[in-house]
Amino acid sequence: MAAITAAMVGELRAKTDAPMMECKKALTEADGDMNKAEEILRVKLGGKAAKASARITAEGVVAAYIAGGVGALVEVNSETDFVAKNDEFLALAQTAAKLAAEKNPADVAALLALPTESGQTLDEVRSALVGKIGENMSIRRFQRFETASKLASYLHGTKIGVVVEFDAADEQVGKDVAMHIAAMKPVSLSADQVPSELIEKERSVAQAKADEDAAKAAAEGKPAQSPEIVAKRLEGSVQKFLKEVSLLNQAFVKNDKQSVEQMLKAAGATVKSFTMYVVGEGIEKKVDDFAAEVAAQMAANKA
């Protein structure tokens, strides 16, 4: 009997997208023969999971779970929006959010290894659903919260999700802030927390605009602005950007006469942190050329 190593199990799982225990069983049955084990799994799964594993998952849902001061926000992806509306897929996402909150896994791999109420691991549930539906699914990311403060969530459909950590006598404040974040999409809590790379990008855009204006003025025979004025314009553009992307400085969606910071102060409330997920954010989506696909199929049929 050949020794079945963790590396062999990992290699087979990468090829087939099958659960780890199923991979180990198949390798044992095949006496360590990788090709034979792959065939065994493809028979069991109908070949669906293996074919799906390489496809891009840029659709999906965001799910939230909160119980007291513990909560989690999870993004679970699928290939198509149609599958993202499937009840079993939605249940998978909710199970993932609950497990992430209750079990505090270190990362996505640890989350996938956690047992569900059915006795299967989360990854086994996911793989079984991949095999059943024939479409790839993946748990992309999660953020867990554990706090002595309060937590509030807001889901805009299933595509945008927010969890806010806050202190306030009125819990509606947290819900209102979560809804505001989903609508206005701030990148940080305060201006001093905006990532430096975003600030430099905005500064570069402002500089390019200033250079364009200077070139236009020179072409029209107008005097150039002084370096001091240009510097003030650049700084003004950066400050405007910081105000637009930091939560506390944004105009509150339910009363644009107030900033979020002013609203919180009036309510005697504070926001400690927040996380917002937008489904597929940052994933390069495949754009199909339908006409080219039809032409290719017609050519294949003629051949």
The pLDDT tens digits for 235-254 are: 998 999 999 999 999 999 99
Taking residues 133-149, what's their average pLDDT?
94
Whether 45 shows a pLDDT value over 80: the answer reads no
- pLDDT value, residue 297: 52
Confidence of residue 226 (pLDDT cuts 50, 70, 90): confident
Tell me: pLDDT of 292 over 60: no
Name the percent of the chain lying above pLDDT 90.
57
Global pTM value: 0.73
Q: What is the mean pLDDT of the chain?
A: 87
pLDDT of residue 50: 43
On the question of pLDDT at 51 being above 50, the answer is no
59-184+273-278 placed in CATH 3.30.420.40? no
Mean pLDDT of 61-73: 97
Minimum mean pLDDT range among 125-134, 180-189, 206-215: 206-215
Looking at residue 53, its pLDDT comes to 45
Tell me which amino acid residue 89 is.
F
Q: Where are the domains of the chain?
A: 6-52, 59-184+273-278, 191-267
> 6-52 sits in which CATH class?
mainly alpha
6-52 and 59-184+273-278 share one fold: no
User: Using one digit for the tens of pLDDT, what is the confidence trace for 197-206?
Assistant: 999 988 888 8
Phi, psi of 32 (to 5 degrees): 85, 0
